[in-house]
Structures are given as structure tokens and as C-alpha cells.
Amino acid sequence: MTDDRLSATFAALADPTRRAILARLSTGEASVNELAEPFEISLPAVSKHLKVLERAGLIARSREAQWRPCILQAGPLKDIANWVEQYRRFWEQSFDRLDEYLKELQGKDKKNGRRK
């Protein structure tokens, strides 16, 4: 996987309509018309979003059925998951620190309670 490929995936995901299309496809294959239904945008606009998703390898058009439904392709999402995973320790550290801080506060509360 090249840098360009990862950039194309991130760019494709940087749009709420495109993420909603993926969410819909996660429940099963769908035609372009079915995908367009919940959105208040034109069919050409939906087609444009689908092209971006297809170029990024996030969806494919089935060749089996004549109506050529769109299907989710999860490979690029796995690449995103792998990429972000290398930063996990940073957000887990933040929680550890918050946890320590809360314990410290609770400790102070207990001490104050005893003094009353």
C-alpha cells in the first residue's frame, strides 16, 4: 500500500454522505437508486460520491447481477485501522492520566470527608 493509496482512502472518508453510503452498504449490497433514496441530493451527485468511493477501492460494482449492485470492500478500511493503531498508546495514555487524576481527586475527597 502506497502513501497515495492511504491518502485517497482518507480523502474518500472525509465526507458524511460517503460515510453514510458505506454504513448503508454494511447492511448489504444496494443499487445506486437505493443508495440515493435517503439523501436529499441528486442522482448525479450520488454517482459522483460512488465514483470517489470506487476509485479508493471502498466499494465495487457486482458483475453477477444485471442491476450491478454496489458492495462494500473493506480492504482500505483495514489499512486505516492499521495506520491509526500505531497511535493507540497516545489516547490510552491520556485516559490513564485522567484516571490517575480522578483517583487523586477521590483520595482528597476521602481525606476531606474524614476531617468533617
Number of residues that bind its own copies (CB under 8 A): 31
Give the count of beta carbons closer than 10 Å to the beta carbon of residue 53: 25
Any contact of residue 14 with its own copies (CB under 8 A)?
Answer: yes
Question: Of the two residues 10 and 39, which places its CB atom closer to its own copies in the complex?
Answer: 10
Any contact of residue 7 with its own copies (CB under 8 A)?
Answer: yes
Binding mask 85-104 toward its own copies (x if CB under 8 A, else -) reads xxxx-xx-xx----------
Minimal distance in Å, beta carbon 44 to its own copies? 21
| Residue 72 near residue 58 (C-beta atoms within 8 A) | yes
Burial class (CB in 10 A: 0-12, 13-18, 19+), 2: exposed
Any contact of residue 77 with its own copies (CB under 8 A)?
Answer: yes
| Residue 9 near residue 59 (C-beta atoms within 8 A) | no
Burial class (CB in 10 A: 0-12, 13-18, 19+), 25: buried
Q: Write out the residues near its own copies by the rule CB under 8 A.
A: 3-4, 6-8, 10-11, 13-16, 19, 22, 26, 72, 74-75, 77-78, 80-81, 83-88, 90-91, 93-94
